[in-house]
Amino acid sequence: MRILVVGGAGYIGSVCAELLLNEGKAVAVFDNLSEGHRRAVDPRAEFFEGDLAEAEQIRSALASFQPEAVMHFAASALVAESMENPSKYFRNNIANGLNLLDAMVATGVKRIVFSSTCATFGPPERVPIDESFPQRPINPYGESKLAFEKILRWFDQIHGLRFVALRYFNAAGASENFGEEHRVETHLIPNVLKVALGQQPQVEIYGTDYDTPDGTCIRDYIHILDLARAHLLALNAPTSESYNLGTGGGTSVREVIEACRKITAHKIPVVEKPRRPGDPARLIAASEKIQRELGWRPEFQNIDAIIESAWKWHQKFPRGYGD
């Protein structure tokens, strides 16, 4: 099977491309390297440097590689930035995504796996969050992803473009070769590990007065390898569907920091700060639907195993991809 991984030089895309190649698939990566890294592209993959904003570039890549399916990871993905610059998010995540869909229709590619997000739901009335929950995003990032999910339904109905939308909760961890390095790092685990590496003096906790056992936010961390396996299974989904992806367990900010202290043997100083607006106390996924319908099972249920894999990668590549 031939797969074009759009955004395959980024964190999740690079690990998915690696797993596809390990499974014997033919893989090409399409990325503009604005957020991704050239060294994050598996050397076994064909590489097209291009931008979804340029419709001809993605159409040309599809026509050249002739994939049977596309995995679509390319997006702007910072919630806070989306509140300051909504135009960027609607343009990148919707308008540029339409260039991809139009090119797929033009070149006869009939299957797509879309990287969506739990941000399409907004603050939950209860947890865990299953697929039946109302989708009421509270920021342009979540709104842009929800809009694209709706567009995919119409492209399926009108053009026969079969899709699977995977709504991630908190992706974390690393494979042996590929890990998490964002130019603007907002994720908790890499920021804690930067303190252990001596690259930052402390880690900040935003909010210690939530209605949780230790007062800090609880999140559902899912290992990047479990996430990647879900994408492989989604390639063979019999119908178009949307699935939530998480472990169904929750870990608080303080618990993550304590686990990082144990694994790295560093003290990791913390500074407590006020809550950030829009941060729910708990975000936990109900993933029974994908387990039932596609046979997916998370292998990494323990936060220690997730952090250990990330720490190994950061020790191996303390400066990330070096670009």
Question: Are the C-beta atoms of 39 and 322 separated by less than 8 Å?
Answer: yes
Domain membership of residue 97 (yes or no) is yes
303: containing domain: 188-219+249-316
Do 132 and 201 lie in one domain? The reply is no
Domain membership of residue 183 (yes or no) is no
Query: CATH number, domain at 37?
Result: 3.40.50.720
Domain membership of residue 151 (yes or no) is yes
Task: Output the pLDDT for position 242.
Answer: 98
pLDDT digits (tens, 9 = 90+) for 76-86: 999 989 999 99
Do 153 and 256 lie in one domain? The reply is no
321 is catalytic: no
Domain membership of residue 168 (yes or no) is yes
pLDDT digits (tens, 9 = 90+) for 95-148: 999 999 999 999 999 999 999 999 999 999 899 999 999 999 999 999 999 999
Query: Residue for token digits 């064909």?
Result: 46
Identified catalytic residue from 89, 141, 168, 243: 141
Do 63 and 118 lie in one domain? The reply is yes
Domain membership of residue 41 (yes or no) is yes
Domain membership of residue 323 (yes or no) is no
Domain membership of residue 177 (yes or no) is no
Q: State both tokens at 40.
A: 């994050």
Rounded CA separation 106/110 (Å): 10
Q: State both tokens at 80.
A: 């806070």
3-state secondary structure 122-173: CCCCCCCECCCCCCCCCCHHHHHHHHHHHHHHHHHHHHCCEEEEEEECEEEC
Do 139 and 54 lie in one domain? The reply is yes
Do 85 and 204 lie in one domain? The reply is no
Query: CATH number, domain at 196?
Result: 3.90.25.10
Domain count across the chain: 2
